[in-house]
Amino acid sequence: MQKQFQAESRRLLDMMINSIYTHKEIFLREIISNASDAIDKLRYIALTEETEMDINGFEIILTLDKENRNLIVSDNGIGMSAEELERNLGTIAFSGSGEFAKNLENAEGASDTAEAVDIIGQFGVGFYSAFMVADKVTVITKKYGEDKAYKWESEGADGFTIEETEKASVGTDIIMHIKADGEVEDEYSQYMREYPVYKLVKKYSDYIRFPIKMLMPHPVLKEGSTEENPEFEEVFEYEVFNSMVPLWQRRKGEVSDDEYNEFYKQNFNDDTDPMSVITARVEGMVSYDAMMFIPTRIPNKFYSDDFEGGLQLYSSGVLIMENCKDLLPEHFNFVRGVVDSPDLTLNISREMLQHDRQLKLIAANLEKKIKAKLESMLKEEREKYEEFYKGFGRHLKLCALDDYGAKKEQLQDFLLFYSSTEKKLVTLAEYVERMKPDQEHIYYASGDSIEAIDRMPQTEILKDKNIEILYFTDNTDEFISDMFRKYQDKPFMSVIDGDFNLSDEKDERIDVIFQDTFEFIKEALGDKVDVVKASTKLKTHPVCLSSGEGITFEMEKYFTAVNPELGMKAKRVLELNVDHNAFLSLEKARTEDEDRAKAICEVLYNQALLIAGLPIENPSDYTDLICSFF
């Protein structure tokens, strides 16, 4: 007799048939995890009651019945009675696993052993996912402790039938009649071949704790064939597909470095060993095992929008999501790994997971773990940290800049900059610790390379006084100082653009004394410079260019590279060393030979450009000008 699905079920079934899942292949994961649940239940009985059962004999067998186009998943788990068949497979509001767990809780004294039984999922839609790939599903089942076996059958939305049948042993066979291929070639037929099925088991169910077996072809020498002239025939033998014990569930001391490395490389498409492994085993409000890796090399596409970060999410050994982004904050999305929690529900949608409180708790804990690992690397394995920073430092900086520096507090201590005095990368904290007693600023200088900054005339005075300067060689660095403004209450100051009055006070009168000369220079150079003034920074060099307030030269270079049409220009302040011979020559020429004086202005200005790493406007004019002096 045809029975109708309960209304809710029918709706769900319709969704399955018209497939809301993009990955239809997960049906096998669902059916296998149901088989595993059923075995869990019977195993529980075997462990807690007096029975003759062999607790080592539990298994899940896959069969490809190619002749009839059936994919069959068989288990020797607890099975279902006729009523259970009707309830469990006809209604979604009722989840058998959920019910079972509740019974366990209520059962007296069961609480200890209850933990021993992992029951996956309050999911409720799992079984119907078979209809994504099958046009008919037959379930043949015999419940533990009963004599009769039953057959449930459905071709989808029309309903289902249940009748008595024969089955020798306890357990369940799920027989899926695989759909014919439509427009997409091999869309369904792939599930009728050994290798794709094997791959699916490996991908989604590798860590199911019971063996998943299937007959696989093996070539053997034909009887009578010789070694010189070998002939092979295919023999089918059962092969166990899954490795059964997840690495992350083993104790830390029991896993070798090699095993971690292999696991990482196999799972995350990398041929280089990871730089660091972070493991966590947490039992409490939420329980989970996590195993995370910091890659040695930047993952493919890491700095592009196509990059898919996130961790693999498992629920008791069953993969639920391959890239769960919600487990990692953006700034740590270079971390790869797995999280396995028995407390997570196998939710259908990513949206639902996003709001999952348990997931949020796990994510917060993982972030702390990663942070602690990086901190310890920074302190105790400095070289390793620098290696890490070479690849991912830029990412940390970009994240620190995100949202107007909202993550400053979280990320500032992970940033490194080259130090003029230490000749190596240092943290801001280390810089501040070394500051001179009367030093108020964190000095930095921006340029294309360490060598280029070293040569900058503006750095001379500070170096002379042995004051440490941070070298900003990455084009994001200045945005960091600009966004952060301060670190531990010490404001950043640009050696190139800032006006710093060091202890030798600048003589206020200088600007007045040389006012005429400065005006002359300004006039000679016209629009090319905005301000001309005496410098407080120069010692042996005659001239330098600073940008004063507003955007800096490094920012100008950055914006020009991004979009030249923006026309973003830094202010040009020409600073002169009034003690320098060049300035004295200019002073002299101004009274004796105005053209020569103008030429000197031009030379000084171009020199300043060159030193600042900015292009000179007309190189051939400039060389002609220089030659005119000989």
Give the nearest distance from C-beta 72 to ligand ADP in angstroms: 11
Residue 310 CA: distances (Å) to CA of 320, 326, 329, 416, 575: 13, 7, 9, 25, 51
Residue 206 CA: distances (Å) to CA of 29, 242, 400, 568: 10, 4, 38, 56
Yes or no: say if 498 and 449 are a contact pair by the CB < 8 Å rule: no
- Which positions ≥6 away from 624 have C-beta within 8 Å? none
With contacts defined by CB under 6 A, name the span among 92-100, 303-311, 366-374, 568-576 that binds ligand ADP: 92-100
The CA distance from 205 to 316, in Å, is 10
Give phi and psi for 545, each to the nearest 5. -115, 130
The CA distance from 116 to 134, in Å, is 34
Q: Among 89, 214, 411, 415, which residue interacts with ligand ADP (rule: CB under 6 A)?
A: 89
Give the nearest distance from C-beta 201 to Mg ion in angstroms: 16
Q: Does 127 bind ligand ADP (CB under 6 A)?
A: yes
- Retrieve residue 491's tokens: 């404001």
Q: Does 124 bind ligand ADP (CB under 6 A)?
A: yes
Query: Please, which of residues 238-267 interact with ligand ADP by CB under 6 A?
Result: none
Question: What 3-state DSSP class applies to 493?
Answer: strand
Residue 139 CA: distances (Å) to CA of 37, 208, 224: 16, 21, 44
Q: Does 88 bind ligand ADP (CB under 6 A)?
A: yes
The CA distance from 572 to 549, in Å, is 10
DSSP 8-state secondary structure symbol assigned to residue 187: T
Yes or no: say if 73 and 139 are a contact pair by the CB < 8 Å rule: no
- Retrieve residue 604's tokens: 């000084």
Among ligand ADP, Mg ion, none, the one that 80 touches (CB under a kind-dependent 5 to 8 A) is ligand ADP
Q: Does 149 bind ligand ADP (CB under 6 A)?
A: no
The CA distance from 507 to 302, in Å, is 53
Number of residues forming the site for ligand ADP (CB under 6 A): 22
Tokens 């095993």 appear where? 259
With contacts defined by CB under 6 A, name the span among 123-131, 293-301, 492-500, 613-621 that binds ligand ADP: 123-131
Q: Does 77 bind ligand ADP (CB under 6 A)?
A: yes
Q: Among 121, 156, 299, 337, which residue interacts with ligand ADP (rule: CB under 6 A)?
A: 121
Nearest in space to 508 (alpha carbons), one of 471, 476, 536 = 536
User: What is the binding site for Mg ion (CB under 5 A)?
Assistant: 34, 121, 126
Give the nearest distance from C-beta 88 to ligand ADP in angstroms: 3
Give the nearest distance from C-beta 5 to ligand ADP in angstroms: 12
Residue type, 516: D
Residue type, 187: E
Q: Among 9, 76, 95, 552, which residue interacts with ligand ADP (rule: CB under 6 A)?
A: 95
With contacts defined by CB under 6 A, name the span among 63-71, 119-127, 299-307, 391-399 that binds ligand ADP: 119-127
String marking each residue 22-51 x if it binds ligand ADP according to CB under 6 A? --------x---xx-xx-------------
Q: Among 80, 130, 534, 573, which residue interacts with ligand ADP (rule: CB under 6 A)?
A: 80
Among ligand ADP, Mg ion, none, the one that 124 touches (CB under a kind-dependent 5 to 8 A) is ligand ADP
Q: Report the residue number, 312 or 347, with the smaller CB distance to ligand ADP.
A: 347
Give the nearest distance from C-beta 124 to ligand ADP in angstroms: 5
Give phi and psi for 270, each to the nearest 5. -135, 140
Tokens 């060389």 appear where? 623
Q: Report the residue number, 101 or 244, with the smaller CB distance to ligand ADP.
A: 101
Q: Does 130 bind ligand ADP (CB under 6 A)?
A: no
The CA distance from 611 to 541, in Å, is 10
Give the nearest distance from C-beta 448 to ligand ADP in angstroms: 60
Q: Report the residue number, 316 or 333, with the smaller CB distance to Mg ion.
A: 316
Among Mg ion, ligand ADP, none, the one that 35 touches (CB under a kind-dependent 5 to 8 A) is ligand ADP
Q: Which positions lie near ligand ADP, rule CB under 6 A?
A: 30, 34-35, 37-38, 75, 77-80, 88-89, 95-97, 121, 123-127, 172
